[in-house]
Each structure stands twice: as structure tokens, then as C-alpha cells.
Amino acid sequence: MERRGKIYEGKAKILYETDNPDLVIQYFKDEATAFDAQKRGIIEQKGIYNNRISSVLFEYLGKQRIRTHFVQQLSDREMLVKRLEIIKIEVVVRNMSAGSLSKRLGLEEGMPLAEPVLEFFYKNDALNDPLINDDHVRLLNLATPQEVTALRKRAVLVNHHLREFLDKRDLILVDFKLEFGRHHGQILLGDEITPDGCRLWDKQTLEKMDKDRFRRDLGKVEEAYQEVCHRICGDGA
């Protein structure tokens, strides 16, 4: 698969065209940002770990009959994916209180939630990705009501399967963010599933093993990504 022109460069990934108009290459960078890009840094080898972790998780979800954009891992930092018209909604699923939920509702971090809590954020950097509801989705014409129903169903199902998969690897899936897109009339799960966009805690020690180590200056950031990659990919990473 030939890599052609750059389509888009984001904070953690670059998208390239290929010789097939339906397929694009996602290139994973080591750059990390937090707090709406006010904090910036490099997490050594993150791109390699995230590409591997995402590839394994997309492949697993595919086996559970969840449609994703994943086609195949091409190299250390490159993944071949189906081209999507991205839906500008960040779908967050939470199993325990943490992060902005704890702040917004005054909940102590680490409280198990009886049912998964779903939130929508408007994917808009200039506005710092504000929390939105279904009425806002309609107002902004981000997705049809049928698509919103599909996103919710899909996100809950992804949560179910990921939680189970990660639990077997001694990781608690505290919360995570998903993005979806349209591809020839189908809605596919897109973007990435990595410690950048998931909160993962060690089941025994409750140690944070995700980007919160970078956000909160907890140290051992690379080590956490490496360990998550090792547990998920089991390949001596």
C-alpha cells in the first residue's frame, strides 16, 4: 500500500492518502497533549505502543462483530484504515467516576458506577470540546436521531467487550472516548483505542496506567504505556 499526500495532522496522529480512495494510513506520533493542548510533551515510543494496542483491540472488536475502520497494521507506526467521514461527536463511556465527571458532579474519583454513563462532547478544538446533549446534536446537525441511537448502542457494546478483554489482563477500564464515522452508508468505529483516550487502572494496585500519568505529572509514563502494550499484545513489548 503506497503512502501518498498528507490529509490531516492531529495532535497524536497523521492521516495519509493511499492509492485506494477508500483507504487511508494512520501514522501514530509520540507527541502528547493535555488540557486542550495547553500541556505538550513527548512520550517516547508512544506511537509504536498505541499502534500495536489499537490494532489488537480493533481486531478483537471485529471478532465480536463490531464494525470498525481497521484493516491491518502496516508497520511500527502505521495502520491501514477505511476512510471515514468523521462524526463530530466524542462518545465517552464511564464505568467509574474520574476526570471531568468527578469534577463536574463533585464525585470522588474511583467510585464504581451502577450502570455505564455515556456522554457526548462536541469535537471542536476552538470550543475546547464542550459537553453536549441530544438536543445540541440535533441543533448542530452532527448526526441523525437514528445515528445517535446507533452510536449509543455501539458504545455500550464496545464497553462490554473491552471491559471483559481488559479485565482478563488485570486492567480496569475506568472510562474511554470513542469516535465514529460514516463509510459507504455504514457507521464504523474509528480513531484509536489506546491509553491516550482510555483510563486504565491496574486491577490489584489501582495504579494509573494511562495518559493521566502525563496529565498529572505522575512519572513513569513510558513504562505505563509499555506495560499496557505488553498485557494487551502479549508480545514481549
For the chain, the maximum distance between any two Cα atoms, rounded to a whole number of angstroms, is 50
- Binding pattern for the stretch 196-215 against ligand ASP, x by CB under 6 A and - elsewhere: ---------------x---x
Choice between 52 and 177, CB closer to ligand TMP: 177
| 124 binding ligand ASP? (CB under 6 A) | no
| Burial letters 153-177, b for 16+ CB under 10 A, else e | ebbeebbebbbebbeeeebbbbbbb
Number of chain residues interacting with ligand ASP (CB under 6 A):
8
In angstroms, give the least distance from the CB of 230 to ligand TMP. Answer: 20
Which phi and psi (to 5°) does residue 66 adopt? -100, 125
Choice between 99 and 116, CB closer to ligand ASP: 99
In angstroms, give the least distance from the CB of 218 to ligand ASP. Answer: 14
**Contact predicate 50/225, CB 8 Å:** yes
**Contact predicate 195/50, CB 8 Å:** yes
| 182 binding ligand ASP? (CB under 6 A) | no
Binding site partner of 33, from ligand TMP, ligand ASP, none, Cβ cut-off 5-8 A by kind:
ligand ASP
What are the cell numbers at 174? 475506568
Residue at grid coordinates 470513542: 178
| 11 binding ligand ASP? (CB under 6 A) | yes
Q: Which residues bind ligand ASP (CB under 6 A)?
A: 11, 33-37, 211, 215
